[in-house]
Structure 1
Amino acid sequence: MQRYCEHDECDSIDDRDDVAHEGSVDPRLDAGGAALDNRQLAVLGAGADEPETEEQQETLPLDVNWIDQELARPHEFWRFLLRMSFGTLMHPYEYAKILMQLGYEPMPAAISTNWLGRTTLYLPSVHQYIRYIKHIDGFSGLYRGLFSRIMSTTCYALFSESLVNMFGVRQLQKRMHPFSEYLWNLVRGGIIVVTGLAISHPFYVISVRQMAQFVGREVVYSSMKGSIEEILAQAGPLGFYAGFVPRLLSDLGILFCTSTLSAIYNQFSVFRSDRWEYNSVLIQFGAVMLFYPLQVVGACMACSGSAVAAGAPPYMPIYDKWIDCLMDLIARGDHYRGAFMFRRTLPKVHAQRAHDPFTRPM
């Protein structure tokens, strides 16, 4: 009996162990399950941080750009209005600059010394020019040709991008090869320049001739309607595009220089990003000064051979082609007249003629 009891106790102990094992979990299985749960959480976390697909990356910037364009429209309008207001305020300076480009000098040069202490002949500054115009025509005379200039600027701002928008030629931003992107944006910018100048240049011709009437005191181009009728009667529709080619070459040259140097910077990072804004201003100024003689030629050709005295001898020769005008200005040293409006020195060619007894007027 005792032996059976001992066996019963053993059986009961084994049964208790089995029940205990059934209620507990193997530590190895527990660790494996925890590791599996951790891997699942890691996968879910990685899926949450996973970058978007290419289609999402392509569609999202388009929507953002569209929203930015919609939000930027009022800002563009206010910027345009501010620019027009500033242009109206500074119109007397533009008026004097046009007369300088045409070669009209109503006041004699004065002898003074330059920064190096050398004696130099200085032409009247832009402020002396403005005071002279105000003395002749009054305060309202300082704004001669303003309406035509506003029309020219407005047409350029409104219709310069009409052709590229019509054909859907959009600006590319880091979606192609750098050279292809540069070439595409350069061609697009060239189309914008050509379109804007083609639409706005007739008003530029009218404004230049209205300002040039100050020289001979004409009244032919006093009104917009009279100016259009006079140009059509004298030279036909092509008369509205006198001086168009040099101005176009000037703007395209400036666009090429600035776009090329900007592409070189973006590709090779020649300058630091915080200094590029200042360097871009210097590059823009250098490009404008490089092609400034073409701007002078454009103003002269817009007036040459017209019904105003400023476009005929003795104030200006009558040029058949714009290249003849450019060569003549370079030969006389007048291809940069009007570029510096505050300290204007007399060209050396004119100074030599002033001291030459054979060319000096009696």
Structure 2
Amino acid sequence: MADTCGQILLGSGLTVLSHPLMYIKVLIQVGHEPLSPTLGRNLFGRQVYQLPGLFAYAKHIIKIDGKVGLFKGLGPRLCAGTIGTVVHSKVVQVSLKKNKYKSSVAVDCFLSFPQTTKEMIARSCATIVTHPFHVITLRCMVQFIGRETKYSGVFDSIVMVYREEGILGFFAGLIPRLLGDVLSLWICNLLAHLINTYAIDDSMSHTGEIKNCSQAVTGFFASMLTYPFVLVSNLMAVNNCGLVGGLPPYASVYPTWVDCWRHLSREGNMSRGNSLFFRKLPAGKMYAIDQKRFF
């Protein structure tokens, strides 16, 4: 119980600190670009036109809504984090008791097939239970585009979603999110297992630190590979929900998440929002730059 409370407090603190970053990322994911591109330099030093990055976007939001505006959707996101931590912990505990594992196993890296399977089940349960709060969080953020106030408090937002879309509305975008989580977990643990088994010698000094570092690197790599699932999930969570940011002509209406995936693939926008700093101009869009039009 004490460990779970500690995880909740730590997770809540990290959520508050990272919320402005997620807010900006979500707005970029749905395609909201209120600022014109600027002339900058890429990694190779060449001058190119780039879309404004994290700090310029944050200044724009602060200019309109103040510093508090960077924390829209924080309430339901904190609820999701707290409930998710509890559910994940309970599922892991039940799994350990059922299979008669010692509690020390729970803190080991989930590199074996049985352990990865247990972690997958625990994460999936937490994702399913908390997805309604995730949907509300995203919709609170996307309201910035049309300046709506449709989703405000957590309880009012729950009533709003249920009244307009029924139970299914709470699970918009769930399937690609689950697929992304599962694939990310298996890719991360498989790569970490291969590195720890074949590239790291147990006789080396600081073996534990090296293995932890390798799993962090593989986790980052796995998240990059599965990012399209995150993007599609977030878009489907706000698609056709009555907000300007999820309706034509601002955004297309997708019957299924597969249609969304295909549309983004055709446009070459599967990595939209993945980077918040070096942001190249997407193909096929026009922007006003120095009274000219650039494609």
Q: Return the TM-score normalized by structure 1.
A: 0.70
Q: Does 1:183 align with 2:113?
A: yes
Match 2:200 to one of 244, 268, 271: 271
Match 1:152 to one of 69, 80, 83: 80
Match 1:129 to one of 46, 53, 57: 57
Q: Does 1:237 align with 2:167?
A: yes
Residues 280-310 of structure 1: CA distance to partner in whole angstroms, max 9, x if unpaired? 2211110000000110111100000101100
Match of 1:99 in 2: 27
Q: Give the deviation of 1:244 after TM superposition.
A: 0.3
**Root mean square deviation of aligned Cα:** 2.5
Match 1:81 to one of 1, 4, 9: 9
Shifted more, 288-297 versus 134-143: the winner is: 134-143
> CA contact under 8 A between 2:77 and 2:137: conserved in structure 1?
yes
Q: Which runs of 4+ in 1 moved over 6 A?
A: none
Q: Give the deviation of 1:270 after TM superposition.
A: 2.2
> CA contact under 8 A between 1:171 and 1:188: conserved in structure 2?
no
2:35 and 2:189 map into 1 onto residues whose CA distance is 41
Match of 1:292 in 2: 227
2:93 and 2:142 map into 1 onto residues whose CA distance is 37
Which has the greater radius of gyration?
1
1:118 and 1:350 map into 2 onto residues whose CA distance is 22
- Identical aligned pairs, as a percentage? 31
Query: Cα gap change, 1:295/1:171 in structure 2, threshold over 3 Å: closer, same or farther?
Result: farther
Match of 1:31 in 2: none
Gaps of 5+ in 1: 1-72, 176-180
Shifted more, 115-124 versus 161-170: the winner is: 161-170
Match 2:259 to one of 308, 324, 342: 324
Q: Give the deviation of 1:321 after TM superposition.
A: 0.7
Bigger relative contact order, structure 1 or 2, given CA contacts below 8 A and separation 6+?
Answer: 2
Match 2:186 to one of 228, 240, 256: 256
Q: Return the TM-score normalized by structure 2.
A: 0.86
Match of 1:114 in 2: 42
1:79 and 1:242 map into 2 onto residues whose CA distance is 28
> CA contact under 8 A between 2:25 and 2:273: conserved in structure 1?
yes
2:223 and 2:163 map into 1 onto residues whose CA distance is 35
> CA contact under 8 A between 1:111 and 1:120: conserved in structure 2?
yes
2:131 and 2:166 map into 1 onto residues whose CA distance is 15
Q: Give the deviation of 1:149 after TM superposition.
A: 0.6
Q: Give the deviation of 1:255 after TM superposition.
A: 0.7
Match of 1:350 in 2: 284
The 3-state SS of whatever aligns with 1:107 is: coil
Q: Give the deviation of 1:85 after TM superposition.
A: 1.4
- Letter of the 1:216 partner, please give it: G
Following superposition of structure 1 onto structure 2, how do residues 336-347 of structure 1 map, counting pairs within 5 Å? 336-347=271-282
1:281 and 1:225 map into 2 onto residues whose CA distance is 37
Match of 1:36 in 2: none
Structure holding more helix per residue: 1
Q: Give the deviation of 1:221 after TM superposition.
A: 0.7
